Amino acid sequence: MFFFREFRAGVYRYYTCKRSVILLIAALSGFTAVAESAGQELTKEPLVIAPIVEGIHLCDEAASNKSITSLADAYALCRKSKLDGASAVNRLLNTLEPGGPKGAVQVGYTATLQLLALYQKTPRGWEIDPTRVDDFLSILRKVQRPVVVYLAADHFDSLGPISEELSKDPQNMLQLRDGKPLELNYFGYQIMPYTLSTNPAIPVNHYRFQALGYVAKKIKALPKSVQNRVVAYTLAGELHQMFPDFENGMGAYQGIQVTDYSPSSIIDFRKWLVAKYKSVDSLNATIGSTYAKFEDVPAPSKDIRKEKLGSFGEHYDAFADGTLPIAGWLWDPLKKIQQLELHVDSEYVGPIAYGFNRLDVYRAEASITTPSTGFRYDLDFTRIKPGRHIAQVIAKSQGIPYQVAEVEFVVVARDQAAPPSAKPKKIASLKAAVTLSGVRSWLDQPRPLQDVYYNPLAREWNLFREFQVFQFLKYFREQALKAGLPASKLFSHQIVPNVNSSWNPQLFAVGKTLEGTAPWNHGLNMYGGATDSAWLRDFMAQHGIRGYGVPEFNPQQWKREGVHLAAMQSHLKAGARFISPYYFSVVPARFKGPEQGVNRMELRPDNTADGSDRFYRAIIEFAAQ
């Protein structure tokens, strides 16, 4: 028995058959070479390098007109003259891969369409401006390259005139526990934390899904040759819960605030509990509470250290769900260490994962040449007795244990009774790991004597918050399918916070969207060490994630040669469908604002920041395959 792949719209699927059938199918499909042994493939889909391109609607006429000094005026001229930026985009892509797309790696582009930005105010209310959609579709027609269409509708879809009006209606926004929405920016870019509710009657949802349907209908009307160039539609953008100081607060563990505490969200939380537990007695038995009815169950939001609780179920902080991160970074350039282990009260707990992204450490320490230095273990303390305990991070080198770090923490009972004062046991007389040649390390979490209180209802709240994110993305995909977009091309556009060991993934609550059983194709954004991460490869293997895409991709490294090429090669080997380097620009320098953190990642041969020049050259080399 051998394998062949049935030709269907340029995609091959595996079936078993006898060799003679393989030869027949190959001949009918126009192939002159066939697999001669089991496991060989007749063809392989190319990996598409689809850079995100800033300024795809900027026409040459406006770009070259020096009398125009603002980007807004330049775009206005292009729209008025019914011109677009297809020529500039083609020139850029032809520089990256001269002669058009060919080979195992092909250069295309990512075309971003912000759905809410399509609306204009009219005497009849907010309506889609058809010229903006037509301008977008014009690019798809004229740029004859593979394309990833990014249908954006998340918190970054915030620059259209409708956004300001939507932000004034609380039901459109994720809310903190005080009922207020967050006011956020990201490197000077305004963010709108729109609701994750799927209720189509909420105004922001009405406009998001109306625009999605409209755009999908227009895409389906394009010539088949144009539609076939679309290799993926990435849906909505990075969907997750929100928190204060979005730009800098991703690693916050003290005094955290999360979403969504809107009235409708709390009602949905109780409905979710009803569906899960059926009766309030069952809930009480599981979490140790005494609620008379589901309507009495609170959404946990109060810090027991600072506030009076109506019931213990109200307690919420970064540890209330029963996990305590033991996390930091380790630099071991000579590979002296073969294993990291966690021990608590001198007892072995388990191996500590290593190789997480720590771009902050890479930036801060000139001698550290890779960002993949993070380690982390999320300790489940729910079965640890109240009292003082000690966690030790121990490294094994040639079978000999060395101590990387130790930290005491305190488990507190829900009645806050004074814990036993007995001093915890630890493994003594260990040499420090820093005595090994080249080794350096630091423990970030937890802080010394961190006190932790387990509230089972807080764990339910975090699971529900993940459910909210999952349900919105699921609903968005369903609307895309209903509008006629093909399921095989629908990808998520998600962040993977856990790959950054210093971040707090509870703030984002995206875990359920990253499961391999999710109905969409996975699109996973990758920056820094995540772009070539053994940990992330293991994560995808464990979750059954295959045939994935990378909607945002930038290694952000400059200290070693070959990093960028190796990262892209790893995704070619893993079977990625596309990678979207972030980012290129066809916007003239005079239109660009002041230098900001994001600008460091503009891929140009003369931009050395974040290794952008190296990434630029590596893409050209990679595309030549």
Flag whether pLDDT at 150 surpasses 80: yes
- Say which DSSP state 361 is in: H
Q: 467 or 10: whose pLDDT is higher?
A: 467
Flag whether pLDDT at 5 surpasses 60: no
Give the pLDDT score at 418: 85
Give the pLDDT score at 4: 24
Percent of the chain predicted with pLDDT > 90: 87
Q: For the whole model, what pTM was predicted? A: 0.91
Q: Decide if 342 contacts 409 (C-beta within 8 A).
A: no
Give the pLDDT score at 176: 96
Q: Decide if 289 contacts 457 (C-beta within 8 A).
A: yes
Q: Decide if 349 contacts 342 (C-beta within 8 A).
A: yes
Rounded distance, CA 583 to CA 150, Å? 14
Radius of gyration, alpha carbons of the chain: 27
Residue intervals in the chain for CATH 3.20.20: 47-248+462-623
What string of DSSP letters covers 266-283?
HHHHHHHHHHHHSSHHHH
Q: What is the pLDDT of residues 384-407, one digit of tens each?
A: 999 999 999 999 999 999 999 999
Q: What is the pLDDT of residues 110-149, one digit of tens each?
A: 999 999 999 999 999 999 999 999 999 999 999 999 999 9
Give the pLDDT score at 2: 24
Q: What is the pLDDT of residues 25-68, one digit of tens each?
A: 333 333 333 333 333 333 478 999 999 999 999 999 999 999 99
Question: What average pLDDT does range 170-189 have in this prediction?
Answer: 89
Question: At the top level of CATH, which class does the domain 47-248+462-623 belong to?
Answer: alpha beta
Say which range, 6-20, 51-65, 108-122, 468-482, has the weakest mean pLDDT.
6-20
11: confidence class by pLDDT, cuts 50, 70, 90: very low
Quote the tokens at residue 110.
């990512």
If you average pLDDT over every residue of the chain, what do you get?
Answer: 91
Question: What average pLDDT does range 80-99 have in this prediction?
Answer: 96
Sign of the torsion angle spanned by Cα atoms 155, 485, 494, 230: negative
Percent of the chain predicted with pLDDT > 70: 93
Q: 9 or 479: whose pLDDT is higher?
A: 479
Nearest to 111 by CA among 79, 143, 80, 150: 150
Flag whether pLDDT at 430 surpasses 60: yes
Quote the tokens at residue 10.
């340029």
Give the pLDDT score at 266: 98
Give the pLDDT score at 276: 98
Rounded distance, CA 163 to CA 158, Å? 6
599: confidence class by pLDDT, cuts 50, 70, 90: confident
Residue 578: exposure state from Cβ atoms within 10 A (0-12, 13-18, ≥19): buried
Nearest to 492 by CA among 146, 10, 154, 108: 154
Rounded distance, CA 137 to CA 243, Å? 36
Torsions phi, psi for 197 (to 5 deg):
-65, 145
Rounded distance, CA 132 to CA 606, Å? 33
